[in-house]
Amino acid sequence: MTDTKTRIEDLVKANDVVMFMKGTKSMPQCGFSSRVAGVLNYMGVEFADVNVLEDADIRQGIKDFSDWPTIPQLYVKGEFVGGCDIITEMTLSGELDQLFETSGITYDKDAANKIREANG
C-alpha cells in the first residue's frame, strides 16, 4: 500500500485538478464518472484523469487514501473535494465556482451558469 499511496500522493500533488474515475475523461465507463467529467469538460476545466479500471491497486488505494468508498473522486490543489453527488451539489450551488476561483483554476463561468440555468 505504501507504493500505491506514494503514487496517489504524487498524482494529487502534480496536478491542480485530478479525478480518479472509471474510464477516461473522453470515454467514461460509468454514469457517475461521466457526470463529473461532463461537468468539468463543459466548464473547460483542465484536469488529469486516472482510470482506476486499469489498476486494481489504485482502485482500492484511492478509497483508502481518501477514506471515501466510491469512485469518482475529485481533487483540487491536493485536497479531496468529493464524489459525484457532492460535485453535482457544488456545481448547482455555485460552490464549485468559488473553489475554482480561490484555487486559481481556470474555468468557463458562462458554462457554469448555463448548467445552473438548465437545472434550476
Return binding residues for [2Fe-2S] cluster: 30
Beginning with the edge strand found earlier in the chain, give each strand of the sheet holding 79-82 in spatial order.
48-51, 17-21, 73-76, 79-82
Q: Is the dihedral of CA 2, 75, 106, 50 positive or negative?
A: positive
Contact by Cβ (8 Å): 90, 61: no
Please enumerate, by residue number, every residue annotated as part of a binding site.
Answer: 30
Judged by DSSP in three states, 109 sits in: helix
